Amino acid sequence: MINNLQIFLALADAVIITDVEHRILAVNESYEITTGYSSDQIIGKKAGILRTPYTPKETYLHMREAMNAGSSWSGVFTNRKKNHDLWHSSITITPFVVEGITYYVGVFRELEQLERGSYLNEDRIGKIQGSLLKVLAISCEIRDPSIETHLLRVQQLTQLLVIRHNERYQLSLSVEDISHIANSSILHDIGKSAIPEGILYKPGPLADYERIIIEMHTLIGVDIINKIYAELDDELFKSELSMAKNIILYHHEKWNGTGYPHQLHGVDIPLEARIVSVVDVFDALTAKRPYKEKWSIESTVQYLEEQKGQHFDSEVVDSFLSLLEDGLIPM
């Protein structure tokens, strides 16, 4: 009868086959190894014997709704193995009808089990990444007391701008992409930590060689970030790495190809860097610094308009100005 479904038992993942009452009809070897139960011990029992109170009630509710509707369902279960260890897994359950009888085939994917036995959801991972990057960025540039305000503001405005730009031009950036761009924007000048203070904070015009050294902060920044991520070597951070590198390396490139370090043109400059460059310049102009007065909003807006297609991507500037018009940029 379930012969047609036997094929699923050959999968490398833990697999379970039940009847509509969730009574276990078959499990594969991977399931036996993972849970510690042999087929003999578990066949005929209800699949719920592995249940723990850690799986939210709604999860079972949603699963049952999907099963009743005859559709497949995926979710996260925290079950208990025979030796009482917790087992966090994502499971996909698919109903199959064979000769008029319905069977459920469940395929488990083990989630990385953390030492404390808790499963971190995406939201929490995002928050942890965000705070680590913040501490990292601020501590690297601690020599300039005004920098913390600038970094936090760049991050805040980048978040607003990415969301607005994504909506206006229907870029279909995911929630993760958006938070990765905003989180990594705080690192844009991390390479400045390696530039001598005498040059970095020099009042007055810079000599050519001093300018060249300052411009190196983009390349040094990527080097720093490569070392940090190599040290962390954790999947948690991998996804953010390429966004962070693009922002650090290219936030001084200009749309017309006259920026640094690689004189990239137009859309060759990654979008995340085009976005951060508008925000970075906006905040630099509108903030008061020891060596300069702050610009008025009117002159800053006029400057951004003039620099469309020169320094900046016109569409990004338009998105930014639309936020200003809507009064959404906190001043």
Question: What residues make contact with Fe ion under the rule CB under 5 A?
Answer: 189, 280
Phi-psi group of 79: left, alpha or beta (phi > 0 → left; psi -120 to 50 → alpha; rest → beta): beta
Closest separation in Å from C-beta 200 to Fe ion = 11
- The sheet with strand 73-80 has its strands ordered as 24-27, 14-19, 101-110, 86-98, 73-80
Amino acid sitting at position 225: I
Closest separation in Å from C-beta 172 to Fe ion = 28
User: How far is CA 233 from each of CA 72, 145, 227, 228, 237, rounded to the nearest angstrom?
Assistant: 35, 31, 10, 9, 8
Q: Which is nearer to Fe ion, 189 or 253 (CB)?
A: 189
Q: Which is nearer to Fe ion, 126 or 191 (CB)?
A: 191
Q: Which is nearer to Fe ion, 240 or 280 (CB)?
A: 280
- 192 included as an active-site residue: yes
Residue that has been written with the tokens 């001598």 in this structure: 196
Q: Which is nearer to Fe ion, 189 or 272 (CB)?
A: 189
d(CA 320, CA 30) in angstroms, rounded, equals 53
Closest separation in Å from C-beta 32 to Fe ion = 56
**What is the total residue count of the chain?**
331
**Catalytic member of 57, 81, 127, 192:** 192
Closest separation in Å from C-beta 29 to Fe ion = 56
Decide: residue 42, CB within 10 A, 0-12 exposed, 13-18 middle, 19+ buried: buried
Catalytic residue set: 192
